[in-house]
Amino acid sequence: MAELVDAAEKGPRSISHYMRILGPGILGAAAAIGGSHLVASTQAGAIYGWQLVGLIIVVNLLKYPFFQIGARYTMAADETLIQGYDRIGRGYLYLFTLLNIFASVVSTAGVAMLCGSILGLFIGDDLSVTQLSMIVLAGSLVFLITGHYKTLDRVTKWIIVGLAIATVTAVFIALNQGGVATPDFVAPSPWNLAAVGFLVALMGWMPAPIELSSWNSVWLRQKKKALGDELDYRDALVDFNVGYVTSTLLAIAFVALGALVLHGSGESLATSGIAFAHQLVDVYASVMGDWSRWLIALIAFLCMFSTTVTVLDGYSRALSECFVQLGQHKGSGPTGHGARYTYPLMVVMGLVGALIIMFFKGALLAMLEFAMISAFISALVFAWLNYRLMKLPQVPERYRLGGGMVALSWAGILFFAGFNLLFGYWYLWVK
């Protein structure tokens, strides 16, 4: 294994250096800022006001170690998380692969349906959400198969910047105007058994499913091959932290928009796709002015298109690594052929995702809720696997988790386990 460069051995980094090394973490943020932000966070603010901000911060904090391990392990061991899972045990790699096969098609369908709904703002009512979603899936596949992943890597950071500026601006304007709820309005409480289903869905994709850490690992290893010694351990963590903090802050911003513009207005979020897309754009236009309607629609579409492309790319690359690894001896390191099945898997994911969309027939919120709940249920497995990785002998002692991160990891594992039990009770006896 190539010796890692200590951060202390390098001088101060320039802005141009950081612009070159930023990539995997920003792509992770692009994948995260989708259903969890545009839908779940806005819905949380619209229904419960500011009450769930604390929970969102806590969930992002508890998931942080498991996402960071995607960068930490890859730079320390010079292999992806997927090779690490195989070192723990071949059974764990099979489990990871099976869960990802399920999650890949469900997540692809969810984000494509949301992107298709926003596309409907430009096309009108001539096409159904199902047809619009098929267009998004087809466009995403063509974009990736024709080799435009590098374009995505370059432009994603600017899409995220545009969405962040628009959202933060809207929040400040809305704060200045004050909320629409009347002083005597009594908000429903989320702290009861009846709300457990919503809370689990909110946390499932907040800021993203934990298996996305494996995407960061795959993308980071590719970035390291391209940049060589220019990319070191500290750079990888900076890239990851920029993406993670950005997605966390934007989640809070979307809660604020829901709380200020929709909470107490008597208006509930639409369940159909195009109606929800109109409602989302209306939230911005109501505080920024009607002039912003098409600008916000464009930014939202580009954000969701980049999310759809990133989801297709991330899951297919991770699953390709899984299948290649399963064809090797247990515990073997990277082969250099991890991308062998990437494009066929993209096509399969797109086709199965299309079938799922046809089954849900435009019921956007139902589709996203199903995907988010599935992600939370599996979070416990992925969190425990990532924690185990950092104890492997391939990880030098200086790169292992410190005492604070170990404590935070166990707090997260216990939290996910406890909430899974509570969700099981709610689903079987309360729902």
Q: In tens digits, what is the pLDDT along the chain, a chain of 431 residues? A: 333 444 444 555 655 555 565 666 677 777 777 767 888 898 899 899 999 999 999 999 999 999 999 989 998 888 999 999 999 999 999 999 999 999 899 889 988 988 998 999 898 778 888 899 999 999 999 988 887 666 766 777 778 888 888 888 888 998 888 888 888 888 899 999 999 999 999 999 898 889 889 988 888 887 777 666 666 778 778 888 888 998 999 999 999 988 998 888 877 777 666 777 888 888 888 888 888 888 888 888 888 888 898 899 889 999 999 999 998 877 666 666 667 889 999 999 999 999 998 887 767 777 778 888 988 999 999 999 999 999 999 999 989 999 999 999 999 999 999 999 999 999 999 87
Beta bridge pairs of residue 272: 363
Number of CB atoms found within 10 A of residue 80's CB: 29
Structure-token match 């309360």, residue found? 430
Contact 211, 99 (CB under 8 A): yes
CATH number for the domain that contains residue 138: 1.20.1740.10
d(CA 409, CA 389): 12
b/e map 120-142, b = 16+ CB within 10 Å: bbeeeeebbbbebbbebbebbbe
Tokens of 329: 């001896």
Q: Which CA distances in Å does 113 have to 26, 209, 290, 405?
A: 22, 18, 25, 37
> What is the tally of structural domains in the chain?
1
Phi, psi dihedral angles at 126 (to 5 degrees):
-70, -30
Res 407: pLDDT: 97
Structure-token match 């690992």, residue found? 217
Q: Which helix (H) or strand (E) holds 65?
A: helix 53-77
On whether residue 156 sits in a domain, the answer given is: yes
Number of CB atoms found within 10 A of residue 347's CB: 14
d(CA 5, CA 379): 32
On whether residue 7 sits in a domain, the answer given is: no
Q: Which CA distances in Å does 127 have to 275, 299, 309?
A: 13, 21, 22
| Terminal Cα distance for the chain, rounded | 52
Contact 250, 164 (CB under 8 A): yes
d(CA 48, CA 330): 49
On whether residue 148 sits in a domain, the answer given is: yes
On whether residue 170 sits in a domain, the answer given is: yes
Q: Which CA distances in Å does 393 have to 76, 88, 181?
A: 11, 11, 56
Residue 333 belongs to what domain range? 19-430
Res 93: pLDDT: 93
Res 13: pLDDT: 61
On whether residue 11 sits in a domain, the answer given is: no
Listed residue (37, 13, 67, 391) closest to 243, CA to CA: 67
On whether residue 3 sits in a domain, the answer given is: no
Tokens of 362: 């435009």
DSSP track, 117-170? HHHHHHH-TTS-HHHHHHHHHHHHHHHHHTTTHHHHHHHHHHHHHHHHHHHHHH
On whether residue 6 sits in a domain, the answer given is: no
